[in-house]
Amino acid sequence: MDIQLFIPCFIDQLYPQTAFNTIQILEKAGCKVHYNPKQTCCGQPAFNSGYRKEAAKLAQKFLVDFNADLPVVSPSGSCTGYIKRHYQNILKDKPKLLQQFEQMKDLIYELSDFLVNILHVEQLGASFPHRVCYHDSCAALREYGIKDEPRRLLAQVKGLELIEMKESEACCGFGGTFAVKNSAISTAMADKKIQNAIATGAEFIVSTEASCLMNINAYCAKQKIPIKGIHLVDVLAG
């Protein structure tokens, strides 16, 4: 199957290896991956900060950068959830672009959803001999709607032991600019999330969202806590 790869700006700038691992996984699953190097941000940071005009410009660029006839797959439930749920409102005064988006929106997928529910692939031959717990990102869970898919993929990883932590659906404290504007609350939320993870005896916290993992890893590094956050993609590529 031919697919288009959308790499969120966060991964592109800070975690490029996760992007390369996404390509590896999709190719292993039988996909021919097309990547448009002109792609940029989907506009979510601008939208969440109240810059609707700027977000609309980025939405327009997204529709230019991606073909409406091929699936668009991304290693982020946050970005894909934002696009699927908010572009319609952002583009409501631009009927031609709105029509283009309506043709495309059902072909935009978060990676684990695409693998499990579209390709029906769960076994990727990965090995990761560690105990892990899974963090349900707020946006991936509540906006995009994935929960079982990442866990089904993790269940097929050789040597991996998945232990559910208490309050796995609670926010890690990132929330984009929330972590900056409300740093004390954000820190307390990160601490609670990480303490729940430590209580499972896990070595790693797995998530689909690089932004959550950055927040988790930054707190762990500062507090010298011996647990690490890792993207689902980087586990599946092992």
Segment 56-85 mean pLDDT: 95
Cα 182 from chain centre: 23
Segment 202-214 mean pLDDT: 95
Output the CATH code of domain 131-236: 3.40.50.11810
CA distance 157 to 211: 24
Q: State residue 225's pLDDT score.
A: 92
For residue 3, give the H/E element and its range.
Answer: strand 2-5
CA angle 223, 209, 116 (to 5 degrees): 135
3-class SS of residue 202: coil
Q: State residue 187's pLDDT score.
A: 87
Q: State residue 161's pLDDT score.
A: 98
CA distance 202 to 116: 25
pLDDT, tens only, 153-192? 999 999 999 999 999 988 987 877 777 777 788 889 889 9
CA distance 45 to 197: 28
Where do the structural domains in the chain lie, given as residue ranges?
2-118, 131-236
CB 164 within 8 A of CB 150: no
CA distance 223 to 162: 24
pLDDT, tens only, 80-128? 999 999 999 999 989 999 999 999 999 999 999 999 999 999 999 999 9
CB 229 within 8 A of CB 205: yes
Outline where 134-229 has alpha helix (H): 138, 148-154, 178-181, 183-198, 210-223
> What is this structure's pTM?
0.94
DSSP state, residue 105? G
Q: In one letter, which amino acid is 162?
A: L
